[in-house]
Amino acid sequence: MKKHLLSVFASALFCTSVYAADLPPLQSDTEPDRTDWTELTAKYGPMPAVDSKLKIGGVSKTLTNEYWRSLGEGYQNTAKKYGFSVAYQAAANEDDQLGQLSIAETLISQDFNGLLVSPQTDANLQPAYEVAKSKSIPVVNVNDAVMPSAAHYVGNVQKDNGVRVANWFIKHHPEGGKVAVIEGQAGVYAATQRTKGFKETLGANGKFSIVASVPANWSRENAYNAAATILQQHPDLVGFYANNDGMALGVVEAVHAQGKSKQVAVFGTDGISDAYASIKRGELTGTVDSFPVLTGEVAMEVMLRLIDGQKISRVVATPQALITKENAEAFLTKDNEKLRQLLAQQ
């Protein structure tokens, strides 16, 4: 079985012809066929009737990261609301690409009515996607790696994460300075776009120097080690941008260890609870929250509309917000409707 998976996985990495004839390769940040999450009802009407016998599968990157647990919570919220079942499963860690593929293939073989997938890379779930498509099982790609062949994607504008952080540095350091980037997994769309947004925005400003940009593969430990080295090489650094919060918290530890907490600003991405807690303690400067519970709810709504036969935009964009100590309390609300109203007003 493992040999079979390896063979199929390898073919997906190198073959693009399976989707080229159907749709152009998806670039979720710039795809013109898109609908904002706030416009779903206005554009497509009220939610359709939902069959309680539906079985929807969710395939996540890993459950060791709070972000992905929260996304699953969003799936479950919608399932409970409409009375159908969800099976939410994930790979052992964020490097287990074949394990994640095996989970997706198993769910397909068990006759689930739809799959919500968050691939570890842009290619590793392509074989499962092709099998699902051959069986007319709808698949929604949900944050943050992007399958080029995906017919439907739900998630935020990844590039905008980096843009928002860069704009904070421009506002708070008008004189410019040296900054560094701690990237996620090399070759993953989300990591590439987050980094690109940060670099391009600061580059256009002309006052900042990006002295290092290194991948830490979503690892807090790797980020700590990378940040420690960068700080030794550039003791006058004014800030870091990390592609996720776990890595950002590792950077915070490295900054603190070198006694530079007042000098060096640190930003992450995702908005996990540990990031909020660190922000409130005055450690982490900020994060870009992409509200995974809400994203999960929106993704499941899109899935239910697809099962009903609705023709939904290829991309449904979900919200994000730059969180700092000034607004953290407002966005920490547990009132889902209040949060939706707050985000809809942005």
The DSSP annotation for 136-198 comes to T--EEEESSS--TT-S-EEE--HHHHHHHHHHHHHHH-TT-EEEEEEE-STT-HHHHHHHHHH
Tell me the pLDDT band of 346, cut-offs 50, 70 and 90.
Answer: confident
pLDDT of residue 324: 98
Which CATH code, of 3.30.2130.10, 3.40.50.2300, 3.30.300.250, 3.30.450.20, is assigned to 2-13+21-155+292-318?
3.40.50.2300
Residue boundaries of the structural domains of the chain:
2-13+21-155+292-318, 158-289
pTM: 0.91
CATH class of 158-289: alpha beta
Please, are residues 147 and 154 in contact by the beta-carbon 8 Å criterion?
no
- Strand 286-289 and strand 321-323: the pairing is antiparallel
Please, are residues 242 and 285 in contact by the beta-carbon 8 Å criterion?
no
What interhelical angle do 292-307 and 336-344 show, nearest 10? 90
Note the pLDDT tens digit of each residue in 262-302.
999 999 999 999 999 999 999 999 999 999 999 999 999 99
At 164, which amino acid appears? R
Please, are residues 227 and 212 in contact by the beta-carbon 8 Å criterion?
no
SS3 track for 71-103: HHHHHHHHHHHHCCEEEEEECCCCCCHHHHHHH
- Looking at per-residue pLDDT, the higher value among 43 and 344 belongs to 43
2-13+21-155+292-318 and 158-289 agree in CATH topology = yes
Please, are residues 247 and 267 in contact by the beta-carbon 8 Å criterion?
no
Note the pLDDT tens digit of each residue in 93-132.
989 999 999 999 999 999 999 999 999 999 999 999 999 9
Please, are residues 290 and 319 in contact by the beta-carbon 8 Å criterion?
yes
Average pLDDT in the 27-46 region?
97
Note the pLDDT tens digit of each residue in 144-168.
899 999 999 999 999 999 999 999 9
pLDDT of residue 68: 97
E strand or H helix at 34, and its extent?
strand 34-36
